[in-house]
């Protein structure tokens, strides 16, 4: 696939290798402006969502944690601040995003890789988290298999992601903001705003929250927490992995 000719607006429908290549290209392209644009597009709500989703995890000393799709490391650093005693690593497929993460956290451990083929042995993490990333994975089933494989029996998988609000009024406002306003905000900082058209589409195509829970349960995961925030614009799921895939 030639990434430059991909219709970004329809990219949320891609899968497998086309999607993988598209994601690398997209995130490398926006990496240097990613944090600032996100702050403006979501009006600072991301910090609120991290606080709600990550502050009740009760991680223990020396727990091993992997942040999958760590991006510029905001979620990774958030966990570090809350639980300085844990050992956390960040994995991402975009070298551009990882470069920013490593600059912002020079003591941190960030490495390049694909969620569909995580270069780590079976059962080595107590917690695997992935924040605002699941929609971008090239193969959702394979990604889940891999994240389950690297969890120890009884380990937890945490998924925090954007969802499409269910309330009709909120949906109209949210759609207008994401489809019409967000790309304009992004356009103040980057020439090519197509990634922000993709963002809107990927949220609109996101599974419904209840279907997402079902997907995890179908994999044999035990969902122990499911929370929607900001009228359903984002949501968190925590699931215990009792068996390895």
27 lies in the binding site for ligand SAM (CB under 6 A): yes
> Rounded distance, CA 228 to CA 243, Å?
27
How many residues in the shown chain lie near ligand SAM by CB under 6 A? 22
Among 97, 127, 203, 221, binds ligand SAM (CB under 6 A): 97
Query: Do residues 157 and 147 lie in contact, with contact meaning Cβ atoms separated by under 8 Å?
Result: yes
216 binds ligand SAM per the rule CB under 6 A: no
Nearest-CA neighbor of 53 among 199, 233, 225, 206?
225
138 binds ligand SAM (CB under 6 A): yes
- Which residue's C-beta sits nearest to ligand SAM? 71
Measured CA to CA, the distance from residue 203 to residue 11 in angstroms comes to 12
Smallest distance from ligand SAM to CB 17, Å: 11
CA distance 111 to 119: 10
183 near ligand SAM, judged by CB under 6 A: no
String of DSSP letters for 21-64: HHHHHHHHHHGGGHHHHHHHHTTTHHHHHHHHHHTT--PPTT-E
Among 22, 110, 137, 198, binds ligand SAM (CB under 6 A): 137
- Nearest CA among 189, 218, 154 for reference residue 41: 189
Per the CB < 8 A criterion, the answer to whether 140 and 224 are in contact is: no
Q: Say how far apart CA 83 and CA 201 lie, in whole Å.
A: 34
CB of 169 to ligand SAM, least distance (A): 27
C-beta of residue 201 within 8 angstroms of C-beta of residue 227? no
**Is residue 100 part of the contact set for ligand SAM (CB under 6 A)?**
no
CB-wise, 189 or 222, nearer to ligand SAM? 189
Binding mask 103-132 for ligand SAM (x = CB under 6 A): -----------xxx--------------xx
Q: Which is nearer to ligand SAM, 63 or 92 (CB)?
A: 92
Work out whether 75 is an interface residue with ligand SAM (CB under 6 A): yes
Burial of 157 (0-12, 13-18, 19+ CB in 10 A): buried
Based on the shown chain and the rule CB under 6 A, indicate whether residue 237 belongs to the binding site for ligand SAM. no
Please report how close the Cβ of residue 91 comes to ligand SAM at its closest, in angstroms. Answer: 6
Say whether 88 sits in a helix, a strand or coil: strand
Beta carbon of residue 23, minimum distance to ligand SAM (angstroms, whole number)? 4
Whose Cβ is closer to ligand SAM: residue 142's or residue 222's?
Answer: 142
Residues lying near ligand SAM in the complex (CB under 6 A): 20, 23, 27, 69-71, 74-75, 91-94, 97, 114-116, 131-133, 136-138
């Amino acid at each position: 696939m030639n990434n430059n000719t991909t219709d970004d607006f329809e990219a949320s429908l891609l899968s497998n290798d086309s999607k993988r290549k598209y994601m690398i290209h997209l995130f490398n392209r926006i990496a240097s402006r990613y944090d600032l644009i996100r702050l403006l597009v979501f009006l600072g709500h991301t910090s609120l969502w991290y606080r709600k989703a990550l502050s009740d995890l009760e991680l223990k000393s020396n727990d091993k944690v992997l942040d999958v799709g760590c991006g510029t490391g905001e979620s990774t650093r958030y966990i570090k601040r809350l639980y300085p005693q844990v050992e956390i690593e960040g994995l991402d497929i975009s070298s551009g995003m990882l470069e920013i993460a490593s600059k912002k956290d020079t003591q941190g451990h960030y490495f390049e890789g694909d969620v569909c083929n995580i270069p780590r042995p079976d059962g080595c993490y107590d917690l695997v988290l992935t924040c605002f990333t699941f929609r971008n994975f090239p193969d959702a089933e394979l990604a889940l298999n891999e994240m389950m494989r690297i969890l120890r029996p009884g380990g937890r998988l945490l998924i925090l992601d954007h969802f499409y609000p269910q309330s009709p009024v909120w949906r109209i406002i949210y759609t207008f903001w994401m489809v019409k306003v967000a790309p304009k905000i992004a356009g103040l900082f980057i020439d090519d705003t197509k990634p922000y058209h993709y963002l809107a589409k990927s949220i609109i195509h996101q599974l419904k929250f209840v279907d997402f829970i079902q997907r995890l349960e179908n994999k044999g995961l035990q969902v122990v927490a499911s929370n929607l925030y900001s009228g359903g614009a984002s949501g968190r799921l925590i699931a215990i992995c009792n068996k390895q895939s």
